[in-house]
Structure 1
Amino acid sequence: MKHAVYGIAQTRHQAESIVDHLKAAGFSNNEISVLLPDTDGTRDFAHEQNTKLPEGAATGGAAGMGAGAIIGWLAGIGSLAIPGVGPFIAAGPILAALGGAAVGGAAGGLIGGLVGMGIPEYEAKLYDGKIRSGNVLISVHTENSDQVHAAKEVFKNGNAEDIHSTGEPNPPK
């Protein structure tokens, strides 16, 4: 079973530093995800208020400019709007995972999307509140306990808050 490690950065600068250290620790852009509120207006590049995942992914270049160089390095950066929650910038595997919430207006919005990623509901509610207040959620998908430990150390050294890890369900065969 794969695991994921999650943490909250209070600022974009702190988030970029943590992502940079995760890269240095050997994690690839396909293993790191970032989710932050879109406060810089990159939603203006979206085609409509309820951005569809492919359209959100197409705005990746514009979102990358607003998100910063290190976050812009991550795979699949784009903007999406979750009905009832607002516009976000997402990068990495979290973009695809939350895309359904953006497209379908899933019940629970962001919380539902996070729970769907395997985050326990009480932690998803905690992260929802932190993200809505301007913090940045960073997650790292890991293969083994050594990587879980390494990711947690990077989060701790970067002064991240609310660091948790969880097992990810195995993909269906």
Structure 2
Amino acid sequence: MATVTRLYDDYAKAQQAVRSLEAAGIPSSDISIAASNSDGWYDKTIDRDRDGTDDRAEGAATGAGIGATVGGAAGVLTGLGLMAIPGVGPIVAAGWLASLAAGAVAGGATGGIIGALTQAGVSEDEANVYAEGLRRGGSIVTVRTNDSSTARVESLLDSSAVNWRTRSDSWRKEGWNRYDPAASPYTSDQVRAERSRYIGQ
């Protein structure tokens, strides 16, 4: 079993990647998503039926779960939930990797996201970049796949993903070395400034 992970600048791009995976027949149980909530996008009221009540609250009241209406489709996106990661702050996550990270955080492990990623087979260097990407307002999608499907999964994920090596090189030029779980999470203003640096890249 192989693990493929990609970094995206925002939730919308990661969400599209997940939808592409599911449309291609990749089982939802093999897909995970984690997205920064530093800018509060998940806190905003979602009222698609315009009845004056947040659709997520209605979903929770009917047993559908807090994220049921956010994803808009069956699959991993319907299981979105909010959690906190040291150094990253609030993230919205779903899937098997989110469960690993939540277990690590609940157990008191610092940098629970790093442990979850490396346990899933991601190299430590990449895991540090993905965790820092989350801290800076990004999103990650991680997929468990067999060797025969790896190339197809990579192709689906790559369409709007960030090149993690290029991004980490950019951060290193500014003095960044590795993800620090003791660092202060980015504010919404810092996230907006970070995203604006990479528009068009």
TM-score normalised according to structure 2 size: 0.62
Q: Which of these residues, 93, 99, 120, is aligned with residue 123 of structure 2?
A: 120
**Structure 1 residue runs without a partner (length 5+):** 44-57, 165-173
Deviations 1:102-135 (A, max 9, x none): 2022033322332232221111111011111111
* Distance (Å, rounded) in 2 between the aligned partners of 1:82 and 1:21: 27
Amino acid in the other structure paired with 1:38: N
- The answer for the alignment partner of 1:6 in structure 2 is 5
The residue that corresponds to 2:23 in the other structure is 24
Measure the CA separation in 2 of the matches of 1:19 and 1:61.
Answer: 19
Distance 1:60 1:84, change over 3 A: farther
The corresponding residue for 1:68 is: 71
Alpha-carbon shift at residue 163 of structure 1 (Å): 6.9
Aligned length: 145
Give the match's secondary structure for 1:27: coil
Q: Aligned runs of 1:77-92 on 2, under 5 Å? A: 77-92=80-95
Describe the shift of the 1:60–1:108 C-alpha distance in structure 2 as closer, same or farther (beyond 3 A): farther
Q: Rg bigger for which structure?
A: 2
Instruction: Give the gaps of 5 or more residues in structure 2.
Output: 44-59, 166-201
**CA–CA distance in 1 between the matches of 2:64 and 2:123?**
29
1:6–1:163 Cα contact (<8 Å) kept: no
Higher strand share: 1
TM-score, structure 1 as length reference: 0.71
SS of corresponding position for 2:90: strand
CA RMSD, 1 decimal: 2.7
C-alpha separation between the residues in 2 aligned to 1:96 and 1:81?
Answer: 12
Q: Specify which structure has the bigger relative contact order, considering alpha-carbon pairs within 8 angstroms and separated by 6 or more residues.
A: 1
Quote the sequence identity (%). Answer: 30
